[in-house]
Amino acid sequence: MNISLDVRNVSLIYPLRTKFSLAPKDHRVGGRDKRINGQGRLRFVKALNDVSFSLSSGDRLGLIGNNGAGKTTLLKVLYGIYPPSHGTIAAQGRIDALFNINLGFRREATGRRNIELRGLINGWTQSEVDARMEEIVAFSELEDFIDMPIKAYSQGMAARLAFSVATSLKPEILLMDEWIGAGDPPFQEKSRQRMRELANRAGIVVLASHNHKLLRDTCNKIMMLDKGSVLHFFPDIDAFEKHSC
């Protein structure tokens, strides 16, 4: 199958809904940002503004921009968590995402049970969970602890387990909010290798990061966002390098 991701004029208007409440008014929603429009209970922020790009198999798009530029929001729109207010997204290929790798982990459950739960949440069938179980356990190097509750794990062990499950994907289109890693130095090297393999296996990768060196090494296209709009789209790394100099 030809894998592609075509994003046309996507905008996201994020309603800053003031819920009907009897509590004292919340003044934390400021009005100084020019992207915040509307008044009273009908305030909204234009989180993405007319974003367009097209990716085909083999493309690795890096998203850069300051905090609040819209990188994570764009990833969540691409993944289908936020519906775009305008524009269209046409994806050929299954989209997987690595956002919060600790999501759904339960301290009281064993490592094995957590793998199972996380797999089900990812949309795997029970037989897919069973098929991947031993590989995940082996990668995490937690064979001796896998049937213990994860509350007994050290932070590093829990992170290794979360990383191992989250990256046990066969993605066609992979969305990542920052490059992830885990564990002690030897495991970190192993996780870097795993991430490289994951990115190589995926038909398309969209990676949001502040690490420009990582993006140069990983991506062949860069999109710079600012306040929800595309500031620059670099069709290759050379163009990005020239702009950065």
Residues that bind other proteins (CB under 8 A): 14-15, 17, 19-23, 76, 79-83, 99-100, 103-104, 106, 108-109, 113, 116-117, 120-121, 125-126
Nearer Cβ to other proteins, position 68 or 104? 104
The one-letter amino acid code at 5 reads L
Nearer Cβ to other proteins, position 179 or 240? 179
Nearer Cβ to other proteins, position 101 or 219? 101
Instruction: Tell the smallest beta-carbon distance from residue 84 to other proteins (Å).
Output: 10
Instruction: Tell the smallest beta-carbon distance from residue 184 to other proteins (Å).
Output: 27
What is the C-alpha separation between 239 and 149, in angstroms, rounded? 50
Within the chain, residue ranges assigned H as helices are 71-79, 111-121, 126-140, 155-166, 185-201, 212-218, 237-244
Instruction: Tell the smallest beta-carbon distance from residue 110 to other proteins (Å).
Output: 11
Instruction: Write the CB contacts of 155 (distance below 8 Å, at least 6 apart in sequence).
Output: none
Helix (H, G, I), strand (E, B) or coil at 236: coil
Cα separations in angstroms, 230 against 48, 85, 222, 227: 9, 17, 11, 8
Under 8 Å between Cβ of 3 and 57: yes
Nearer Cβ to other proteins, position 14 or 233? 14
Instruction: Tell the smallest beta-carbon distance from residue 18 to other proteins (Å).
Output: 10
Nearer Cβ to other proteins, position 17 or 243? 17
